[in-house]
Amino acid sequence: MKKTCNKCKVEKPLTEFASRANRKSGYDAQCKPCYNERKRRERRENPEVYRATRLAWVKANPDKVSEADRRWYYNNLEQKLAYRKQWALDNPEKRLWSTAKSRAGVRGIEFSIDIADVVIPTLCPVLGIPLKKNIGKCHSDDSPSLDRVNNARGYVKGNVRVISYRANRLKGDATAEELRKLIDYMECGGVSTAAAA
C-alpha cells in the first residue's frame, strides 16, 4: 500500500505516514518528514502558541503522559524553551545548517556539508549590508541565510554561502540567465529585448 503526500506530492509507503484515528484513511495526509518540518516551523515561528497548546494537551491527557513527564513539563518547559531560544541565538551557524538539512530532506536535495562549511560573514557578499550574527524568531533583510550558489546543485561543499535574507529572497530559484533578462527588462523600461529577438 502506498499513499501520496499532499505536501511533497511524493508517493510513499504507508509506514512513512503517522496513523491518525480521526482521518478516513487512518493516516496523516502528509508524510512524516513533511509533518515534522511543518511542526518544527510552527514551533519556531510561534513558540508561545506551541507551549500553550502543549501544556493544555498535557493537562487534558494526564493518562497519556507519565508522571515524570508531567512533572517535567510543568516544572521545566518554561526554562527549556528559554534555553532553546538562547541556544538558537548563540549557535546561528548550527541553526542554519540544521534547518537547511531538514529542508533538503523534505525536498530531496543533496546535503553533504558540515557545520564548519557554514560561515556567517560580517557583510552580505551580494548586497554589502551588515549581517546580523544571530537569528531571531522572524527573518529580516539582514538575517543570515544559507544560499546554494548554483540553485541546480544541492547543499554540497563549494556550493553554499551565507548571504543576507534579502539577497536570497531576491535571487529565489532564478538562473543567472533569468536574472540577466530581468535586469534588461528593468533597465530598458519594459521594452522587452526577448520579444524583439
Measured from the CB atom, is 17 or 165 closer to Zn ion?
A: 17
Q: Please say which residue, 27 or 185, places its beta carbon nearer to Zn ion.
A: 27
Amino acid at 87: W
Exactly one of 7, 54, 139, 181 binds Zn ion (CB under 5 A); which one?
7
CA-to-CA distance for 57 and 78, rounded, in angstroms?
16
Q: How do 160-164 and 144-148 pair as beta strands?
A: antiparallel
**Which residue among 17, 34, 100, 160 contacts Zn ion (CB under 5 A)?**
34
Looking at the Cβ atoms of 31 and 162, the one nearer to Zn ion is: 31
SS (H, E, C) 111-154: ECCCHHHCCCCCECCCCCCECCCCCCCCCCCCCEEEEECCCCCC
Question: Distance between CA 106 and CA 165 in Å, rounded?
Answer: 21
Instruction: Note whether 43 binds Zn ion by CB under 5 A.
Output: no
Site for Zn ion contains 135 (CB under 5 A):
no
1, 2, 4, 8: residue in contact with Zn ion (rule CB under 5 A) = 8
Closest among 162, 166, 34, 168 to 107, alpha carbons compared: 34
Spatial contact of 57 and 77, defined as CB atoms under 8 Å apart: no
Site string for Zn ion, 141-180 (x = CB under 5 A): ----------------------------------------
Could you give the residue ranges of the DSSP H alpha helices within the chain?
Answer: 32-45, 47-60, 67-90, 92-107, 165-171, 176-187, 193-196
Asked if 17 and 28 touch (Cβ cutoff 8 Å), the reply is yes
Of residues 34 and 131, the one with the C-beta less far from Zn ion: 34
33 versus 144: smaller Cβ distance to Zn ion? 33
Is residue 37 at the binding interface for Zn ion, with CB under 5 A as the rule? no
Q: Which of 17, 31, 92, 131 binds Zn ion (CB under 5 A)?
A: 31
Cell digits for 115? 557545520
Q: At its nearest, how many Å lie between Zn ion and the CB of residue 10?
A: 6
Taking the least distance from each CB to Zn ion, the nearer of 7 and 51 is 7
Which residues form the interface with Zn ion (CB under 5 A)?
A: 5, 7-8, 31, 34
